[in-house]
Amino acid sequence: MIKNSLIIFHRKQYGKEIKDLINIIENMETKSIKEFKTQKMKESIDNLLKLKVISEEINKVKDLLLFKKIFEKSKGNDQEEPFKDAKSLLDKIKELFKKESSNKEQSLNIEIIFQNFENIFKDIKDELSKKEKSKSDEFIKQMKNFYDIKNEENQKDLSIIIKNKKYEMVVKSIKFFF
C-alpha cells in the first residue's frame, strides 16, 4: 500500500524509499525470518512505516477527480510541490463548504464555491460533459462524500451545476437541428 501510494504522486521525492520497500518485499520471499530481526532491517522497516501518513493522505485523494485536476494545474520542480498545492486547495474548498454549511438558516450556496474556483470546475465540467452520465454521477458522489454534503437541496444544486454543461450541449444540438 505505501509503495503504491508513493509511486502515484511522490515517485521522485521518495525514490530511494520505494526501492527499499521493493527490496524488503523481495527479501521476504527469499530470506528467513531470522534475517529480518537484524537492527539494520528493523531500522529500514521503521523508516518506511513513517511514510504511512503520507500514503494515507494520497489514498484519500488519489481517485478524486477534483484533486487530479488541481494537481495537473499545479506547478513545481517535483511531484511533492504540486501535491501539497493541490491538497492545500482541497482543504480551502473544504473550509468553504464547512463555512457555507454552518449557516443553518439557509442552504449551502455551492455556486459561490464553484465561482471561487471557476477555472478548475470549468475544466471538470468540460471533461465530464464529453463523457457518459455515469462519470458525472461518480464525480458528484465523490464530492458528496469528500465534503460531507448531506442536505438534499445542496446535493441537487451540486448535480445541476456539474451537469449543466451537458444540458447546454443538448440544448445547442436541438437548436442546431431545428
Tell me the pLDDT tens digit for each residue of 132-164.
Answer: 888 889 999 999 999 888 878 888 888 888 877
Last residue of a domain, one of 19, 42, 59: 59
Q: Are residues 9 and 48 in the same domain?
A: yes
Give the domain-ending residue among 14, 32, 59: 59
- Residue 22's domain comprises 2-59
Question: Predicted confidence band at 79 (pLDDT cuts at 50, 70, 90)?
Answer: confident
Are residues 54 and 81 both part of a single domain?
A: no
Say if residue 87 is in the same domain as residue 169: yes
The reply to whether 150 and 127 lie within a common domain is yes
What 8-state DSSP symbol labels residue 104?
A: T
Any idea which of 39-48, 73-82, 90-99, 105-114 has the lowest mean pLDDT?
Answer: 105-114
Task: Give the separation between CA 122 and CA 69, rounded to whole angstroms.
Answer: 10
DSSP 2-63: HHHHHHHH-TTTTHHHHHHHHHHHHHHHHS-GGGGGSHHHHHHHHHHHTTHHHHHHHHHHTT
Whether residues 30 and 95 fall in one domain: no
Residues 12 and 77 in one domain: no
Domain boundary among 18, 33, 59: 59
pLDDT of residue 141: 93
Q: Domains in the chain: how many in total?
A: 2
Clarify whether residues 14 and 74 are in a common domain: no
Q: 169 pLDDT exceeds 60?
A: no
34 with 86, same domain: the answer is: no
Residues 78 and 55 in one domain: no
- Greater pLDDT, 151 or 91: 91
Do residues 44 and 114 share a domain?
no
Residue that is written with C-alpha cell 443538448 in the block: 170
3-state secondary structure of 121: helix
* pLDDT grade for 51, boundaries at 50, 70 and 90: confident
Distance CA 43, CA 41 (A): 5
